[in-house]
């Protein structure tokens, strides 16, 4: 039996790297038995993923083929042509798979967005009798479409990573369900030489993404909330702030690079004596987790950055914009004030939640220390489910 990860993409999103690493540990097979579709083999190799999975290079189409596909999609807007265009780049990868293999759709929140390759690839595999697992997923009713509803029943197993998604899928009548922690929870931190500012252990870690800002700008209501919070920390405390980029993607004209957001904040705020940006270019997910573990508090937009804080028992505030943040915090028994909805955030909300975090930091830390060991172990239950 071999295992295939068709939606991995690459470690330009350290969350994708985390899911691939954690999933390989849960599958418990050598890299020669796990195949991951990869957009950037050099980067994934640098991050150490080749130790866990076999990296299969993404098929790059010629300019003419790409233009032809775009024209076909524009002229023939049917479900069949849309499915064909979504599957086309994966076809050589998919043809490797046999009925003895298992396909794990590792995208996590892929079904929180528009109809995409998860749906059409799963349908194609289902028609050929190949086992598929929707792996460590989140999705809410606000994300539902007719095509998603149809494909959900075609997965051999749906592994949900938090109870809000699990309960929603139950309400749809789906039976092929399990509820277990995100695969990234099983990862261990990896030590590396820390920047000097982390040595005093009085650092607030902060990850800000374009998703919570509705673009690469601070000139919006939530951007003002973030800047007000940073100003409060710098004025009212002696803490340093470490901005932690977690995604470096700028692909196909879609910019998700957290480093750019960190630069915007640094330029706006100044204060290089106390506001720092963690240089992640040479750091993998587990090394970033190690740095987050040296923070007193953490505030994060990227789910897998917040998962690192939880895993290291660092009191954390999630800047959630979807069901995944609320669900994971709920399952860990954390107060709802520790998730701030960046899309619906009245003035002062972020600062009030941060104040709650500060006032209750030791209680939150002890709670995470109590629940985290057993919570992490639960993830290993998936191994018997996919090998049975």
pLDDT cut 90: percent of the chain above it: 79
> Is there a shared CATH topology between the 3-187+377-387 domain and the 196-373 domain?
yes
Average pLDDT, stretch 53-60?
A: 86
Which of the four pLDDT bands, split at 50, 70 and 90, describes residue 246?
very high
Q: What is the pLDDT of residues 142-151, one digit of tens each?
A: 999 999 999 9
Whether the pLDDT of residue 299 is over 50: the answer is: yes
The angle subtended at Cα 387 by Cα 384 and Cα 388, nearest 5°, is 75
The pLDDT of 174-184, averaged and rounded, is 96
User: Domain 196-373 sits in which CATH superfamily?
Assistant: Glycogen Phosphorylase B; (3.40.50.2000)
Q: What angle do CA 98, 137, 190 make, to 5 degrees?
A: 95
What is the pLDDT, as a whole number, of residue 79? 60
pLDDT of residue 92: 84
The pLDDT of residue 62 is: 45
Higher pLDDT, 23 or 388: 23
Tell me the three state secondary structure of residue 376. helix
pLDDT tens per residue across span 282-298: 999 999 999 999 999 99
Is it the case that residue 370 has pLDDT exceeding 90? yes
> In angstroms, rounded to a whole number, what is the distance separating the alpha carbons of residues 126 and 130?
6
Of 89, 104, 72, give the one whose Cα is nearest residue 7.
Answer: 104
User: Would strands 250-251 and 177-179 be described as parallel, antiparallel, or unpaired?
Assistant: unpaired
DSSP string over 319-332 = ---SHHHHHHHHHT
pLDDT tens readout for residues 197-211? 998 779 999 999 998
Q: How far is CA 332 from CA 7, 163, 178, 199, 317, in A?
A: 27, 10, 17, 29, 13
Distances (CA, A) of 51 to 25, 48, 55, 58: 11, 6, 10, 19
Q: What is the residue-averaged pLDDT of the chain?
A: 92
pLDDT in tens, 73-116: 555 555 655 665 667 677 888 889 999 999 999 978 888 888 88
pLDDT (0 to 100) of residue 66: 54
Query: Does 254 have pLDDT greater than 90?
Result: no
Which pLDDT score is estimated for 89? Answer: 73
DSSP assignment letter at 189: P
What is the per-residue pLDDT for 255?
Answer: 84
And the tokens for 373? Answer: 């060991």
Tell me the pLDDT tens digit for each residue of 335-368.
Answer: 999 999 998 899 999 999 999 999 999 999 999 9
Tell me how crowded residue 359 is: count the other CB atoms within 10 A of its CB: 10
Domain boundaries, the chain: 3-187+377-387, 196-373
CATH code matching the domain that covers 3-187+377-387, chosen among 1.20.120, 3.30.70, 3.40.140, 3.40.50: 3.40.50
Q: What is the pLDDT of residue 10?
A: 93
């Amino acid at each position: 039996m071999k295992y295939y990860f068709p939606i991995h993409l690459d470690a330009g999103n350290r969350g994708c790297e985390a899911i691939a690493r954690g999933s390989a540990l849960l599958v418990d097979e050598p890299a020669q038995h796990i195949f991951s579709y990869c957009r950037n083999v050099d980067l994934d190799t640098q991050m150490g993923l080749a130790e866990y999975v076999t990296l299969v290079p993404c098929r790059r189409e010629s300019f003419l083929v790409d233009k032809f596909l775009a024209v076909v999609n524009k002229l023939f807007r049917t479900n069949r042509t849309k499915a064909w265009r979504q599957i086309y780049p994966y076809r050589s990868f998919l043809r490797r798979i046999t009925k003895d293999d298992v396909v794990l759709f590792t995208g996590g929140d892929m079904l929180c967005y528009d109809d995409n390759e998860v749906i059409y690839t799963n349908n194609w595999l289902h028609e050929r009798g190949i086992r598929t697992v929707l792996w460590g997923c989140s999705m809410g009713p606000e994300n539902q479409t007719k095509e998603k509803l149809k494909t959900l029943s075609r997965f051999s197993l749906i592994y949900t990573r938090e109870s809000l998604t699990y309960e929603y899928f139950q309400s749809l009548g789906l039976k092929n369900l399990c509820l277990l922690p995100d695969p990234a929870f099983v990862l261990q931190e990896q030590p590396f030489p820390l920047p000097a500012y982390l040595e005093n252990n009085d650092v607030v870690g902060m990850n800000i993404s374009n998703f919570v800002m509705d673009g690469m700008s601070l000139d919006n209501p939530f951007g003002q909330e973030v800047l007000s919070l940073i100003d409060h920390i710098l004025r009212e405390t002696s803490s340093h702030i470490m901005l932690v980029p977690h995604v470096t993607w700028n692909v196909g004209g879609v910019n998700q690079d957290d480093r750019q957001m960190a630069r915007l904040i640094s330029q706006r705020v100044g204060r290089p004596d106390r506001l720092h940006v963690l240089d992640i270019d040479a750091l993998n997910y587990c090394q970033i987790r190690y740095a987050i573990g040296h923070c007193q508090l953490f505030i994060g937009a990227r789910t897998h950055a917040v998962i690192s804080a939880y895993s290291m028992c660092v009191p954390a505030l999630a800047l959630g914009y979807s069901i995944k943040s609320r669900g994971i915090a709920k399952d860990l028994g954390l107060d709802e004030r520790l998730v701030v909805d960046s899309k619906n955030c009245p003035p002062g909300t972020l600062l009030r939640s941060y104040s709650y975090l500060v006032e209750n930091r030791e209680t939150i830390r002890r709670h995470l220390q109590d629940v985290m060991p057993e919570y992490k172990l639960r993830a290993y239950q998936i191994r018997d489910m996919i090998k049975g």
